[in-house]
Amino acid sequence: MRRTIATLILTCLWSITFSQTSFPKGYFQAPLGIPLYLAGNFGELRSNHFHSGIDIKTQGKEGFKVYASADGHVSRVKISPWGYGKVIYIDHPNGYTTVYAHLQKFKGAIADEIKKYQHEKESWEIDWYPPDTLLKVKKGDVIAISGNTGGSGGPHLHYEIRETESEYPVNPLLFGFDIKDNIKPEIRSITFTPLDDTSYINNKQQVQRFLVTGSDGNYQLKAGTEIQAYGQIGIGIETIDKLNGYGNRNGIYTIELIKDEKTIFKSEMTKFNFDHSRALNSLIDYSYYLREHVRFQRSFIEPNNPLEIYREQENNGIIHFKKGSQFNFKYVVNDSYSNSSSISFKATGNIDKKNLPAVIKQKYDTLFSYADSNFFDRQTLQVRIPKDALYKDLPFNYFEADTLQGAITPTYFVHNDYTPLHKPITISIKVGRLSEYLRSKATIVHFDSNKKYYSRGGTWRNNFISATTKAFGGFAVMIDTIAPTIVPLNIIPDRHMATYNEIEFKIGDNLSGIKSYRGSIDGKWVIMEYEAKKSKVFYTIEDLSKGNHEFTLELTDGVGNKTVRSIPFTY
């Protein structure tokens, strides 16, 4: 298990350069005018990514003024029912960009120009890069109102500081904001991982997790814990941080593993590359997390892990235990405010060969290399895995199962979803003879280990339909001929709507998902917002003349099925 020499050199140079960087404290003002309490911090471990900013609590409600942190210009505005929802990016002359996400609405000239752009594009969803001279802002200008849009799980402001040129997000807690934190990180467990089929932990070939006791920065393994290891071993730690005022589980700034008084691994969450963020699934034990719902951070580096958070390492953090060896270890973990916790433990090299469990040789169809592109071909299934999609070589398995209800092909299990992917792979499934109409309604469906399924769409080439996916699992082809549903929530035929602020609809689709929607009044396009987490679209009534009108909503799913609903009303 080794990274390339070039990767190691680049990581070391990046580490040296960035360690010399000083951060402008006092340059940026807080984006809210209320005390800063955090629901999430920078580098926190999330699903398939690192958290790229801080989540500032807004007292469980929306409606707080959001201020520009410094002079600059609005460089990007994005509006989406997913992700960041409504978000503003401001470039500043000191080389940083601030980001304000999950906004309820925009204010002032920013709001006016956004609405103008939406009407030009006839789309509520936009990703707009205004000219540098169009929307200048001063430090302290009100740019928006805090909200809960996009993928937000509750009202808050997501706030980021990025390097403008590289677009790398940087830890905002290093910029001197008035955030109270004197709480030391918590250490919850230590893990040992055997890294090949000749390595053991306490005579077992599975990850072993050892619980700890302690508090206030001082931790130790539970009394009576004994660790015996043999072969190539990796160590990991389960640790979280908390900040004053709230009990949210936040991320750690630095993790250092010391072996016999020498650092063999150190990570630091100062900044990261968005293109690498998915490699969080290599930093943690992804399979263990899916099975046990515990995220521990590995202090060893898989060969194709591209993360640039590693500051020091020896032998990629891998430790070789032989019989009779004994090592003393110490973990030191720190948060962004230098609150520190540690745990010391030892492990001995030993194996009881007389009582080893029976070795079950892993069977697999083929071995895929992380360093090359890979192609798997069966008569009715093709799998294309690009170079660098894997974090290490993969003993690949495949099998075919019965046809599920509603599917027109068998279910093809392409490895399993306990192995993470860094890049999308392509699944191609051969389908029997279909009419052109049914081909247009076909979609590849992905089944995960929880038996949930997701439509991945598909494009046709000859008799194969292909789609990309970022996860292994089960795949089949289904036909979607059912149009999306539209349910009016507050409008009925001929209702007088003058006392209403909005016109609202519940929308849904059975399989391929909502692809597009269009609202119009008397044939003229109007701005309709899509709140995906509530399966709701709505139009905020404005500039509407008195009299009779007709509201029309058109809804199209992922394979082109369309529903149109027109309702007359008065105003």
For the record, the structure tokens of 79 come out as 């509006």
**pLDDT reading at 7 higher than 50:** no
Torsion angle of C-alpha atoms 297, 303, 308, 310, degrees rounded to 10? 50
* Per-residue model confidence (pLDDT) at position 402: 87
In Å, what is the CA distance from 529 to each residue of 109, 127, 150, 516, 548?
Answer: 20, 15, 11, 12, 23
**pLDDT reading at 67 higher than 60:** yes
What band does 1 get if pLDDT is binned at 50, 70 and 90? very low
- Written in H, E and C, the secondary structure of 58-89 is CCCCCCCEEECCCCEEEEEEEECCCCCCEEEE
116 by DSSP, 3-state: which? Answer: helix
Torsion angle of C-alpha atoms 225, 228, 233, 238, degrees rounded to 10? 0
CA distance 520 to 565: 11
**Entry field: residues in the chain:** 571
CA distance 41 to 55: 6
Share of the chain above pLDDT 90, in %: 90
What band does 15 get if pLDDT is binned at 50, 70 and 90? very low
428's CB contacts (< 8 A; 6+ apart) are 381, 382, 383, 384, 461, 464, 465, 466
- The predicted model gives 212-226 an average pLDDT of 97
CA distance 438 to 170: 49
Strand partners, 312: 266
What distance lies between CA 284 and its chain's CA centroid? 14
**pLDDT reading at 235 higher than 80:** yes
Share of the chain above pLDDT 70, in %: 96
CA distance 344 to 333: 12
- The predicted model gives 95-99 an average pLDDT of 98
* Per-residue model confidence (pLDDT) at position 353: 86
Residue limits of CATH 2.70.70.10 in the chain: 21-174
| CB-CB contact of 505 with 484 (8 Å) | no
- The predicted model gives 524-536 an average pLDDT of 97
Torsion angle of C-alpha atoms 85, 140, 23, 56, degrees rounded to 10? -40
Strand partners, 333: 255, 341
* Per-residue model confidence (pLDDT) at position 247: 79
> What's phi and psi for 525, nearest 5 deg?
-60, 140
Which of 22-36, 75-89, 235-249, 501-515 has the least mean pLDDT? 235-249
Could you read off the pLDDT of 342-387 as tens digits, one per residue? 999 999 999 988 888 776 667 788 999 999 999 999 999 999 999 9
**pLDDT reading at 80 higher than 50:** yes
- The predicted model gives 551-566 an average pLDDT of 98
What band does 21 get if pLDDT is binned at 50, 70 and 90? low
> What's phi and psi for 433, nearest 5 deg?
-65, 130
* Per-residue model confidence (pLDDT) at position 359: 67
CATH for 485-570, options being 2.170.130.10, 3.40.640.10, 3.10.20.30, 2.60.40.1220: 2.60.40.1220
Nearest to 251 by CA among 219, 283, 276: 283
Over the Cα atoms of the chain, what is R_g?
A: 27
Could you read off the pLDDT of 154-165 as tens digits, one per residue? 999 999 999 999
- The predicted model gives 514-528 an average pLDDT of 97
18 by DSSP, 3-state: which? Answer: helix
**Taking the domain 366-479, which CATH number applies?**
2.60.220.30
* Residue whose tokens read 């290490």: 392
Residue limits of CATH 2.60.220.30 in the chain: 366-479
Return the higher-pLDDT residue of 245 and 18: 245
**pLDDT reading at 467 higher than 50:** yes
* Per-residue model confidence (pLDDT) at position 403: 85
- Residue 547: HSE in the Cβ half-sphere, 13 Å Cα cutoff: 6
| CB-CB contact of 356 with 231 (8 Å) | no
Residue limits of CATH 2.60.40.1220 in the chain: 485-570
| CB-CB contact of 102 with 65 (8 Å) | no
On whether the 21-174 domain is CATH 2.70.70.10, my answer is yes
Could you read off the pLDDT of 453-462 as tens digits, one per residue? 899 999 999 9
Could you read off the pLDDT of 389-443 as tens digits, one per residue? 999 999 999 999 988 888 999 999 999 999 999 999 999 999 999 999 999 999 9
CA distance 347 to 496: 76
